[in-house]
Structure 1
Amino acid sequence: MKLLNRAGLALLPREPYADWVNGLPQGDSPHQVMTLEMHRAEGTLYLIDEVFNESDFDQAIARHWRQMFENELAAWDEFGDHWPELLSREQFLEWFELKPQLMAIDLSAEPLMRAPLMDEG
């Protein structure tokens, strides 16, 4: 068991995100209509730098909201053809609930794997 020098933001979809996903064109590979509960059953945990006070979470959200928003949208529309025209922090907070997680503990004996999902440039 190892304590990671990270905190986290657990991201859970809200109704506008579920509505957006369910409104996407089905194309060649139809997806099942998902209820909000189905979406919320599996949130995403984003690791951030360690935090020392509540304002550190606010700063992390201000710094990373766009990356998180784009990653969640890309999970359903990889090329962004049907993304909202303008992405804003306000819209992100309407579409997702964020639950701050103070500590990250690694229970695995396996080495931690890192694989960049987007250009980190």
Structure 2
Amino acid sequence: MSFQLIQLENNQANVTCPYCHQDVLDWNQEQYIQPCTHTLFIAIDLGFEYISHVYEATMQRSVDDIHANDDNIDVFHEISSADYADYVVYSSALGVADLQRYVGLSAREVM
């Protein structure tokens, strides 16, 4: 595991990139997922909502493979087993059935 996990307490707060200061989750927008050039992925325990090609190339399985077997998805395991180095994962509770949201950000631009 080559990332720092930061647990966010407020699941309704916007998630802001620490590098470019863009809100990558902006609850004031209809399309609340707003990836910036530092966004590696945005996921929930049920699957990936957004993923950069750069990050997906470092994963053990493709997102298509993961979603094809969605009865057995363990998104945190998939994130933990990727070979991408030095990034931050923000995690927050969804407020439903103990599900989590994960936002991965890197100091390196990936888009």
The TM-score, its normalising length taken from structure 1, stands at 0.27
**Larger-gyration structure (1/2):** 1
The TM-score, its normalising length taken from structure 2, stands at 0.28
- Bigger fraction of residues in helix: 1
- Bigger fraction of residues in strand: 2
Higher relative contact order (CA 8 A, sep 6+): 1
